[in-house]
Amino acid sequence: MSKYFLSLLLVVFTIHFSEAQTAKDYFMSGVKKDQAGDHAGAIEEYSKSIAIDSTKFQTFNNRGISKNDIGDLKGALKDYNKAIELNPKIADTYNNRGNVKDKLKDYKGAIKDYTKAIELDPKNTFAFYNRGNSKTDLGSYSEAIKDFTKSIALKPDYARAYFNRAIAKQHMNDKAGACSDFRKAEKLGYSKAKEEIKKNCQ
């Protein structure tokens, strides 16, 4: 199953740093390093920004993404918690924290965060997709299918959502439905689907 979508990955926010211009400089340097794949370097830059100005949720969020990228899940969770404390109205931060909780196998906690993201942004296709993954992990396949279906309705070319819905349908013994979704995912360019079609849909 293809998992996780960080909906806020390296988004450059419009930040009002006022007098803390140096904090903004470090923030922008962190973004550039993250985009170049230097996640450890990005964490260092974001940390310098936070040392000067610890009031910007964007900086904690982006540092959380970088920590997630290097496998520091507990550190990422701590940063997302702080970002949400500073601004509890950003759907994508809940989505990102949900991804970390899912990786830590806290599936119920992940679902709670994805649900909050959807509450704040009902058209957040990635929150529906990620919640479907966590529901699959819990064995709630029929509920997962509903979330993948909603994700597809919002983004009809979302190949991974078709693929993961197919996996859930397999668990529900819906071979025809699963194969239909695998074929749609393959048509949309998702290479893993070809293997599943060969194995299960001949």
Q: Which residues form the domain of 62?
A: 1-124
The answer to whether residue 143 is domain-embedded is no
Instruction: Read off the pLDDT of residues 76-92 as tens digits, 9 standing for 90 and up.
Output: 999 999 999 999 999 99
SS3 string, the chain, reads CCCCCCCCCCCCCCCCCCCCHHHHHHHHHHHHHHHCCCHHHHHHHHHHHHHHCCCCHHHHHHHHHHHHHCCCHHHHHHHHHHHHHHCCCCHHHHHHHHHHHHHCCCHHHHHHHHHHHHHHCCCCHHHHHHHHHHHHHCCCHHHHHHHHHHHHHHCCCCHHHHHHHHHHHHHCCCHHHHHHHHHHHHHCCCCHHHHHHHHHCC
pLDDT at 17 over 50: no
Q: Residue 84: which CATH number? A: 1.25.40.10
Q: How confident is residue 1, by pLDDT bands cut at 50, 70 and 90?
A: low
Q: Is 150 within a domain? A: no
Q: What is the pLDDT of residue 16?
A: 52
Please count the structural domains in the chain.
Answer: 1
Domain contains 202: no
Asked whether residue 136 is domain-assigned, the answer is no
Establish if 104 belongs to a structural domain.
yes
